[in-house]
């Protein structure tokens, strides 16, 4: 029996595809039949990943852009329409972390983390919704974090943006439900990516912190980007047709445990 592809004839935008969770999800979407517009601010790294995915035979187009800039997000949506005929899925994944207490955080760093982590999701909704509405529906997935529920001193700006991403997701889901557009948030725990490594280096001894965070999850390990891609695929696909306005935690049990 031939298995039907989960995203056959769908068009998706994935941001932050040059690395980590975005890269794994762009590949997973393409494997399931989607045409993918891959967005990254790192032109060299982003191009390299897209060339890799194209060499594997997937339909992927690269857009160099900053998710915090309206013009760049609008351009990504235009590329989806011009190259692939529309837009069904927007995975707003690109994000950054800043470290330091709230007092130590400069206004510049504060504004940048808010722009990349939160404004980006607002822009994704703003520019994707009209195109999806014309198509009769769609799925928008914002990337939050376990930092949307609990956070820590020293990473407060990041934690604040991730809490806000869940609030934005809930409001957008209500506004867009009548148009058949679902909006959800994925909330990963610790996942093996360069971003997680920079977090560990900031906290202290990287390897020691790695072991500590792995041990603190009931599953006893750090996640792989592919394990986040799997739930994002589910949220993107029609299999999750009754899910909207919700945060989906994928963290190996990390935040279920009392310290
Ligand atoms: P990563 O650093 O491995 O990859 C992020 C990618 O986004 C990079 O390719 C980077 O160039 C790109 N990027 C950064 N700023 C951008 C911008 N302004 N415009 C366009 N592209 C930009 O990170 P990751 O760990 O894969 O994280 C992806 C998302 O997952 C982030 O939103 C992050 O907050 C979230 N997250 C990660 C973890 C984790 O443990 N890795 C946990 C929870 C949530």
Q: What is the pLDDT of residues 188-243, one digit of tens each?
A: 999 999 999 998 998 889 999 999 999 999 999 999 999 999 999 999 999 999 99
Whether the CB-CB separation of 192 and 224 falls below 8 Å is answered with yes
The token pair at 86 is 């529309």
DSSP H or E run through 187: strand 181-188
Query: Could you say which of 84, 122, 158, 210 is catalytic?
Result: 158
Q: What is the pLDDT of residue 96?
A: 98
pLDDT digits (tens, 9 = 90+) for 76-128: 999 999 999 999 999 999 999 999 999 999 999 999 999 999 999 999 999 99
> From the CA of 40, how far away is ligand 1's center (Å)?
10
User: How many Å separate Cα 45 from the centre of its chain?
Assistant: 17
- The torsion angles phi and psi of 223, rounded to 5 degrees, stand at -85, 165
> From the CA of 15, how far away is ligand 1's center (Å)?
9
Whether the CB-CB separation of 124 and 230 falls below 8 Å is answered with no
**Cα–Cα nearest to 142, from 181, 175, 186, 173:** 186
d(C-alpha 243, C-alpha 115), whole Å: 27
Residue ranges lining ligand 1, Cβ < 6 Å: 15-16, 18-22, 39-42, 45, 66-68, 93-96, 116, 143, 145, 188, 190-191, 193-196
Average pLDDT value for residue range 1-22: 95
Q: Which residues lie closer than 8 Å to 82 by C-beta, 6 or more apart?
A: none
Confidence of residue 46 (pLDDT cuts 50, 70, 90): very high
> From the CA of 178, how far away is ligand 1's center (Å)?
31
Given a cut of 90, whether residue 183 has pLDDT beyond it is: yes
Q: What is the pLDDT of residue 148?
A: 98
- The torsion angles phi and psi of 83, rounded to 5 degrees, stand at -80, -35
- The torsion angles phi and psi of 141, rounded to 5 degrees, stand at -125, 120
Q: Which CATH number fits domain 11-188+224-244: 3.40.50.720, 3.40.50.620, 1.10.540.10, 3.40.50.150?
A: 3.40.50.720
Average of per-residue pLDDT values in the chain:
97
The pairing of beta strand 181-188 with beta strand 89-92: unpaired
- What predicted TM-score, i.e. pTM, was given to this entire model? 0.98
User: How many Å separate Cα 32 from the centre of its chain?
Assistant: 18
Residue 84 annotated as catalytic:
no
Domain ranges of the chain: 11-188+224-244, 190-222
Q: What is the pLDDT of residue 138?
A: 98
d(C-alpha 173, C-alpha 153), whole Å: 30
Of 15, 17, 21, 162, the one to substitute when testing ligand 1's pocket (max ligand atoms within 8 A of C-beta) is 21
Neighbours of 239 (CB within 10 A): 11
Q: Which residues lie closer than 8 Å to 18 by C-beta, 6 or more apart?
A: 40, 41, 42, 45, 46, 48, 49
């Amino acid at each position: 029996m031939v298995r039907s592809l989960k995203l056959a004839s769908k068009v998706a935008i994935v941001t932050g595809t040059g690395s980590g969770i975005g890269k794994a999800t762009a590949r997973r979407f393409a494997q399931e039949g989607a045409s993918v517009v891959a967005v990254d601010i790192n032109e060299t790294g982003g191009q390299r990943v897209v060339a890799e995915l194209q060499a594997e035979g997937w339909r992927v187009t690269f857009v160099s852009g900053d998710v915090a800039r309206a013009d760049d997000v609008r351009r990504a949506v235009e590329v989806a329409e011009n190259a692939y005929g529309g837009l069904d899925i927007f995975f707003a994944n690109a994000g950054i972390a800043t470290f330091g207490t709230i007092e130590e955080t400069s206004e510049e760093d504060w504004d940048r983390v808010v722009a990349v982590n939160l404004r980006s999701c607002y822009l994704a909704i703003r520019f994707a919704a009209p195109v999806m509405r014309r198509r009769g529906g769609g799925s928008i997935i914002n990337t939050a974090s376990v930092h949307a529920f609990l956070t820590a001193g020293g990473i407060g700006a990041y934690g604040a943006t991730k809490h806000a991403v869940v609030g934005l997701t809930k409001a957008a889901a209500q506004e867009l439900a009548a148009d058949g557009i679902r909006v959800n948030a994925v909330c990963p725990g610790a996942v093996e990516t360069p971003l997680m490594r920079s977090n560990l280096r900031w906290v202290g001894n990287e390897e020691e912190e790695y072991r500590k965070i792995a041990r603190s999850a009931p599953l006893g390990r750090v996640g792989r980007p592919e394990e986040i891609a799997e739930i994002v695929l589910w949220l993107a696909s029609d299999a999750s047709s009754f899910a909207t306005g919700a945060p989906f935690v994928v963290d190996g049990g990390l935040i279920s445990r009392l310290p």
